[in-house]
Amino acid sequence: MEKHSINIVFAGHVDHGKSTLIGRLLYDTGCLPEEKIKEIEKSSRSVGKEMEFAFVMDHLKEERSKGITIDTAQTFFKTKNKKFVIIDVPGHKEFLKNMITGSTLGQTALVLVDAEESVRDQTKRHCYLLNTLGLNKIFVVINKMDLVNYSEKRFNKVKDEITDYLNKLNIEILGVIPVSAKLGDNIVNLSDKMPWYKGESLLDIMDRFKVEEKEFYNLCLPVQDVYDFVADKNVFVGRIEGGTLKKGSKVIVLPERKEVTINKILKYGEENLTSAGVGECIGFLPEGNVELKRGNIIVDNTNYNITRKFKANIFWLSKYPGGINEKYTLKCSTQEMDCEIEKIYKRFDPASMEIVEEEAEKISGTEIAEILLKTEKDVVVNKFSNMPHLGRFVLEKDNNIVAGGVII
Ligand code: GDP
């Protein structure tokens, strides 16, 4: 078993079988505890079924909402050599939101297409978004093959449709596998119901997946909060999103470009660390009397932009239209400030990939737009591909998320 696990996002139109496939994968790879299996069998019997795999996800979600399993890293399945952690994104809106705001980013994705229904607009929108967020190598699963009599002809038709679209996006396809998530065909082992399929089972294909390690060496530590419980000194806390924070090192506080020295690094239960790395939530004390606040970004390099204007692709999420010259709240990492959309260069329908309008004034529905955003204060940003954490943001109005975006 390889040391590092791989984060995988499941995408696809609602009802095409995401939950069922996830349930099936967890069950068939022995990654569900015995007592969970019993509970799910019980719920399944109560609706007259032997085993409803979609219930696996319901059970896990219920646990999460009760706060039992806060750690999403709990939901994983194993292939021969690898461990895949599932990043669960339930509805379409949640999908968009999680992809933009989620703390854990996907490293690969699996897109499901129902063999009967074939590709839907939502399937395409998800693929488009995956690609924008840098997930450009994906697995494609054509599900519910049992409902189309395991027909090779039908499989090829659906396969052509999805591959045409993915090719347009320049997404690399790691495999197109005909399966029945419900009955388990071609998931772990090859099924004798589809002798025409000459490829490998889904798990065998996934087992060969290699993550292209993209390490973020440059320090990026957004200040989340300020605590004043240590004597007369303020402690600044945050999660390290890139690089390493070292005791005694000189760092730069953005957007002010102040230089400070790190005097002390603290962690729950550990008083005096010499360094801390990516993913660690820490507190630190700078030398001297330095006032920092939530929204400051601590860096050790010049690989960032401080600006009041940037170009971005946004995904509209609100049921109300929005547009230029309207006020929004920008949230990017821990930074928060007023902003407005100065320009909408073009808005387009991600399903058809067609430009709906250029130099537009409004955006609505589930459209995507290329915009110029103007902020009221200096904001620290980076291209998504350079530093994902400073490259994605949300726009809010009256405390509701109206759009998610990626800086280009
Ligand atoms: P999701 O919305 O994508 O998570 O879809 P679900 O996993 O909830 O599945 C939607 C419906 O399709 C449920 O009734 C499942 O039992 C059914 N389903 C999922 N996979 C299959 C399959 O391979 N074959 C058949 N016949 N039904 C399936």
User: What are 213-255's pLDDT values in tens digits?
Assistant: 666 678 999 999 998 766 677 889 999 988 899 999 999 999 9
Answer yes or no: is the C-beta of 16 below 6 A from any ligand 1 atom: yes
114 pLDDT band, cuts 50/70/90, is very high
Share of the chain above pLDDT 70, in %: 90
Answer yes or no: is the C-beta of 18 below 6 A from any ligand 1 atom: yes
Secondary structure class of 195 (helix, strand, coil): coil
Cα gap 381→389, rounded to integer Å: 9
> Which atom of ligand 1 sits closest to the CA of residue 183?
23
Cα gap 188→204, rounded to integer Å: 7
Answer yes or no: is the C-beta of 94 below 6 A from any ligand 1 atom: no
Answer yes or no: is the C-beta of 347 below 6 A from any ligand 1 atom: no
- What is the structure's pLDDT at 3? 66
57 pLDDT band, cuts 50/70/90, is confident
Q: How many H helices and E strands in the chain?
A: 8, 24
Do residues 56 and 67 touch, judged by C-beta distance below 8 A?
no
Distance from the CA of 98 to the center of ligand 1, in angstroms? 22
pLDDT in tens, 140-175: 999 999 999 999 999 999 999 999 999 998 899 999
The 3-state secondary structure of 7-53, one letter per residue:
EEEEEECCCCCHHHHHHHHHHHCCCCCHHHHHHHHHHHHHCCCCCCC
Q: Which domains does the chain have, with CATH numbers?
A: 6-207 (3.40.50.300), 220-299 (2.40.30.10), 305-407 (2.40.30.10)
Ligand 1 pocket test: pick from 53, 116, 182, 193 the residue with the most ligand atoms within 8 Å of its Cβ: 182
Residue type, 160: D
Distance from the CA of 19 to the center of ligand 1, in angstroms? 7
First-to-final CA distance of the chain: 37
Distance from the CA of 23 to the center of ligand 1, in angstroms? 11
What's the residue count for the chain?
408
pLDDT: which is higher, 267 or 69: 267
pLDDT value at 50 more than 90 = no
Nearest of 340, 237, 244 to residue 301 by alpha carbon: 244
Cα gap 18→10, rounded to integer Å: 7
Do residues 364 and 344 touch, judged by C-beta distance below 8 A?
no
Answer yes or no: is the C-beta of 51 below 6 A from any ligand 1 atom: no
Question: Token pair of 10, please?
Answer: 């499941």
Do residues 178 and 186 touch, judged by C-beta distance below 8 A?
yes
Cα gap 176→182, rounded to integer Å: 18
- What is the structure's pLDDT at 351? 75
Answer yes or no: is the C-beta of 143 below 6 A from any ligand 1 atom: yes
**What are the φ and ψ backbone dihedral angles of 203, each rounded to 5 degrees?**
-65, -40
Cα gap 202→176, rounded to integer Å: 9
Distance from the CA of 220 to the center of ligand 1, in angstroms? 42
pLDDT value at 62 more than 70 = no
Nearest of 229, 120, 217, 108 to residue 171 by alpha carbon: 108
pLDDT in tens, 302-354: 778 999 999 999 989 888 999 998 999 999 999 999 999 999 999 988 777 77
pLDDT value at 69 more than 70 = no
For residue 67, what are the CA distances in angstroms to 134, 279, 315, 376? 31, 21, 30, 38
Answer yes or no: is the C-beta of 378 below 6 A from any ligand 1 atom: no
Cα gap 24→26, rounded to integer Å: 6
Answer yes or no: is the C-beta of 181 below 6 A from any ligand 1 atom: yes
Q: Quick count: other Cβ atoms within 10 Å of Cβ 94?
A: 12
Nearest CA residue ID for atom 14, ligand 1: 15
381 pLDDT band, cuts 50/70/90, is very high
Distance from the CA of 168 to the center of ligand 1, in angstroms? 28
- What is the structure's pLDDT at 68? 41
Ligand 1 pocket test: pick from 14, 15, 95, 147 the residue with the most ligand atoms within 8 Å of its Cβ: 15
- What is the structure's pLDDT at 85? 87
Ligand 1 pocket test: pick from 9, 10, 18, 20 the residue with the most ligand atoms within 8 Å of its Cβ: 20
**What are the φ and ψ backbone dihedral angles of 63, each rounded to 5 degrees?**
-60, -40
Cα gap 192→185, rounded to integer Å: 8
194 pLDDT band, cuts 50/70/90, is very high
Nearest of 327, 315, 309 to residue 392 by alpha carbon: 315
For residue 202, what are the CA distances in angstroms to 9, 19, 31, 33, 140? 15, 16, 16, 22, 9
* Mean pLDDT, all residues of the chain: 87
